[in-house]
Amino acid sequence: MKESLDKKKLIKKVPGKKIIPKPPKFNIMWLYGIIIVSILAIQFFMSGSSARLITYQKFENEMLKSGDVEKVVAYKQEELVIAEVYIKKEKLNAEKYKDSQGKNNFSVSGSNPQYYFTDGSFESLQARLNNSQKETPENLKVPLSYESRSNPLSNIFWTIIFPVVLFALIWIFIMRKMGGGAGGGAGGQIFNIGKSKATLFDKESQVNITFSDVAGLEEAKQEVMEIVDFLKNPKKYTNLGGKIPKGALLVGSPGTGKTLMAKAVAGEAQVPFFSLSGSDFVEMFVGVGASRVRDLFKQAKEKAPCIIFIDEIDAIGRARGKNSMVGGNDERENTLNQLLVEMDGFGTDSGIIIMAATNRPDVLDSALLRPGRFDRQISIDKPDLVGREQIFKVHLQPLKLAEGVDPKKLSAQTPGFAGAEIANVCNEAALIAARKNKEAVDMQDFQDAVDRVIGGLEKKNKIISPEEKKIVAYHEAGHAIAGWFLEHADPLVKVSIVPRGVAALGYAQYLPKEQFLYTTEQLSDGMCMTMGGRVAEDITFGKISTGAQNDLERITKLAYAMVTVYGMSEKVGNVSFNDQGGEYNFNKPYSDKTAELIDSEVRTLIDGVYQKTKALLKDKQEGLEALAVKLLEKEILFQSDLEEILGKRPFDNRTTYDEFVNGIEGGDQSIIAENIHTEPVGDSTEPLNSDTAEIK
């Protein structure tokens, strides 16, 4: 399954749609601006006197001594004393006072002071004024008065107007947030916190993804298309007495295209499509999840017939009663209960279809999976050879390809890849070609991209001591020898000791045969091939290193699976302890005595694998030495180099690649030595998976 194409937009406006002009909305910011301008205007026009500043010498010589001053009023302003000078009204017509006429704002002439000067303190001002009038008769002396003055409008503004305006602004802001504005969305508003967060796709905004963009899983697509066809042509089914499925659950591994399938349904259904995630119901407040479920179905019933898609439904659909606190309130369980009621509560003619996607069906509640809620469980698995070829064709369309790029070969070289991984390979190939300044993307770029995606970035400049490099060479040679001479092991067709990724000092490539069932012999040979690196170190150097940590981990996991899950141990018997609920279950489903028997059988199995691998490598020790020396010399060996050193593989088993690309009959495996699939080794070769041959 593929992801959405890069060059396509998910949502587009429907052409020809009639646009209704919306009336202009009043912006409350204009009101705020008017209030501020009004306050500033009042302060300007009512700001008292417009007296001119003069010096004390001018005041004394031109005004005080000539007897033109009526009075002097002093008041404190910050650190200075301001002395306002009032000229007698009959003296204002004099030529020297012409500059004081017409300067007052809306005030009667003479009622305000005409001049002012400053002084340091009241005492200093009083002393200077007395000194200037010491020869003046007492009845003619200019009086000096003191006032405690402040701006009355400023006091009113800061004590009354400003708090009221500030409170009004805060109140309006809170109410707008609580109301959610004109949109009414859930967002973070208080009153809308219980509203559904579902995104609605309807006829006005459609999804530009169709079933033609979905490749690789025809069976799953057919089941989903049937649901869409029911919505388009309901009489075709109702005439026969059929009813539309109430729900469909898409189940599959990550990257297989579950969400893409839902997008295709939204693009094809031509009915309202509600899309949301399971985590959208989760909130810290009690009752919010259940409220959002109710609101979602309320909106859906108004838009019926419609489809609701819940992605990652395991966020709210986990089985109830597990890992819950005693006496506590489980909000997730309340949300699930409400979802169960809504899904099975509406009538069959309501026209609401529930679609959901998850990659964890084992943790879902059984009540959610029963018929009547999710009538269909649609499995979306990783694509097979033919499916991968179709997916490659889709993702290769936007690329500029060179001649010789064959999606059939690419699909055979990428076993176990999901649609998302295939899309990543195609994108990496284009980036690698651009990095090399190529005009088109060729086959070698795709091979490098596969190596890059699985094995990590190649680190040619990583400094490794000669001793470590020699250990890595013999380690990888051990894997190669074991894979070459064991019948049921996947033959390694490329070996490298060039470091890749974070910790991989070497890696190997092989073409596993695509199959679903494995015999005991096949699993045993796979374990022997994985053990080849550790045994090669022991035989060659007489000591072992930490490089086989990943090998031993996977061997141990597979050995326990063979004994406890697949029933491949004679002493333990044909039993399986594969506990699906093991995530929450801390109790073993068997006794301590059985546990000791299982441990004993696992050790016996691994010891047998070790002895078998050791005998094989001792018998082929000359080839091991030659292969390791060649690997130290060239760093990368292909299948042709292995055939030159070890000879033809003694088994005539054709690989899946050979059969798929070259046909059922004929075909030479040597022609694909460089067209191979990469398997990463985190310091060693990647061993066989416990139940499939998929790539990890």
Active site residues: 476
- Asked if residue 688 has pLDDT above 50, the reply is no
- Asked if residue 683 has pLDDT above 50, the reply is no
The number of folded domains in the chain is: 4
User: How far is Cα 51 from Cα 440, in angstroms, rounded to an integer?
Assistant: 84
Would you state the structure tokens that stand for residue 32, as one six-digit string? Answer: 């705020």
**Identity of the highest mean pLDDT range in 47-51, 391-395, 581-585:** 391-395
The model's pLDDT over 321-345, given as tens digits with 9 standing for 90+, comes to 765 554 445 777 888 888 888 887 6
CA dihedral 274→279→280→281, nearest 10 degrees, is 100
Q: Are 354 and 420 contained in the same domain?
A: no
Q: Are 287 and 352 contained in the same domain?
A: yes
By the 8 A CB rule, do 203 and 18 touch?
no
Q: Are 370 and 402 contained in the same domain?
A: no
Please identify, among 420, 454, 488, the residue that sits at the C-terminal boundary of a domain: 454
Q: State the Cα angle at 454 between 449 and 458, rounded to 5°.
A: 65
Assign residue 69 the CATH number of its domain.
3.40.1690.20
- Asked if residue 434 has pLDDT above 90, the reply is yes
| Binding-site residue ranges for ATP | 252-259
- Asked if residue 552 has pLDDT above 80, the reply is yes
**Identity of the highest mean pLDDT range in 9-13, 90-94, 345-349, 650-654:** 90-94
Greater confidence, 197 or 546? 546
- Asked if residue 160 has pLDDT above 50, the reply is yes
User: How far is Cα 359 from Cα 89, in angstroms, rounded to an integer?
Assistant: 96
Q: Are 654 and 553 contained in the same domain?
A: yes
| Mean pLDDT score, 242-256 | 85
Other residues' Cβ atoms within 10 Å of the Cβ of residue 612:
18
- Asked if residue 200 has pLDDT above 80, the reply is no
pLDDT at residue 136, rounded to an integer? 82
Confidence band for 101, pLDDT divided at 50, 70 and 90: low
- Asked if residue 23 has pLDDT above 60, the reply is no
Q: Are 422 and 365 contained in the same domain?
A: no
- Asked if residue 92 has pLDDT above 50, the reply is yes
By the 8 A CB rule, do 539 and 618 touch?
yes
Domain that includes residue 440, residue range: 385-454
- Asked if residue 617 has pLDDT above 90, the reply is yes
Confidence band for 675, pLDDT divided at 50, 70 and 90: very low
Assign residue 500 the CATH number of its domain.
1.20.58.760
Greater confidence, 633 or 79? 633
In a domain, 404, yes or no: yes
| Binding-site residue ranges for Zn(2+) | 475, 479, 551
Please identify, among 454, 477, 492, the residue that sits at the C-terminal boundary of a domain: 454
| Binding-site residue ranges | 252-259, 475, 479, 551
pLDDT at residue 205, rounded to an integer? 64
Please identify, among 402, 427, 454, the residue that sits at the C-terminal boundary of a domain: 454
Confidence band for 493, pLDDT divided at 50, 70 and 90: low
By the 8 A CB rule, do 416 and 510 touch?
no
By the 8 A CB rule, do 87 and 70 touch?
yes
Q: Are 632 and 523 contained in the same domain?
A: yes
Would you state the structure tokens that stand for residue 547, as one six-digit string? Answer: 């490089």
Average pLDDT for the chain: 77
